[in-house]
Amino acid sequence: MAVKIRLQRHGKKNFAFFHIVVADTRAPRDGRYIEQIGSYNPNTNPATIVLNSERALAWLNVGAEPTLVARRILSYEGVLLKKHLQGGVAKGALTQEQADAKFAAWKAEQDKKIAAKKDGLSKAAADKAKAAAEAEAKVNQQRAEALAKKKAEAEAAAAAKAAEEAAAAEPAADAPAQEA
DSSP string across the chain: --EEEEEEEEEETTEEEEEEEEEETTS-TTS--SEEEEEEETTSSSPEEEE-HHHHHHHHHTTPEE-HHHHHHHHHHTHHHHHHHHHHHHHTSS-HHHHHHHHHHHHHHHHHHHHHHHHHHHHHHHHHHHHHHHHHHHHHHHHHHHHHHHHHHHHHHHHHHHHHHHHHHHHHHHHHHHH-
* Residue 177: pLDDT over 80: no
CATH of segment(s) 3-94 = 3.30.1320.10
| pLDDT tens, residue by residue, 109-133 | 999 999 999 999 889 999 999 999 9
Give the start-to-end residue ranges of the domains of the chain.
Answer: 3-94, 95-162
Task: State pTM to two decimals.
Answer: 0.69
| pLDDT tens, residue by residue, 78-103 | 999 999 999 999 998 899 999 999 99
